[in-house]
Structure 1
């Protein structure tokens, strides 16, 4: 359990709750595109980020990993990583 917490604390965190809605997805995709293979970051949101997941499926198919770390009801945390070989 402590390893998971340590891994989570070493990745950059984007708290999108503090970002203007129209700027959220572009920032998230820019952050993803700047990752090296095998790296990840975490987003924190106040709602289920399912539309973002579907956008990743469409625009970065087979290039990303998506791991829910917390699933509401008030806070969602998702670890998004760049696959090796992507």
Structure 2
């Protein structure tokens, strides 16, 4: 089983969202449904970046690392591979 760290972007919110999962397509569909929470209501989230890991612990560690940056600039550098 593979695990993924992903970064989504919403045009309407002009925000990024960082998460991890086993199935990116299924998770993206969930983010784009009308639900309570940060990703709910917009329905325009798109995948901007993914990383693949062989175990969940490594994926969660990387997700927490990216979230700890608290930096749009760093996220955009990662996405753009600068």
> Normalising by the residue count of structure 1, what TM-score does the alignment of the two structures yield?
0.30
Q: Relative contact order (C-alpha < 8 Å, sep 6+): which is higher?
A: 2
- The normalised TM-score by structure 2 is 0.31
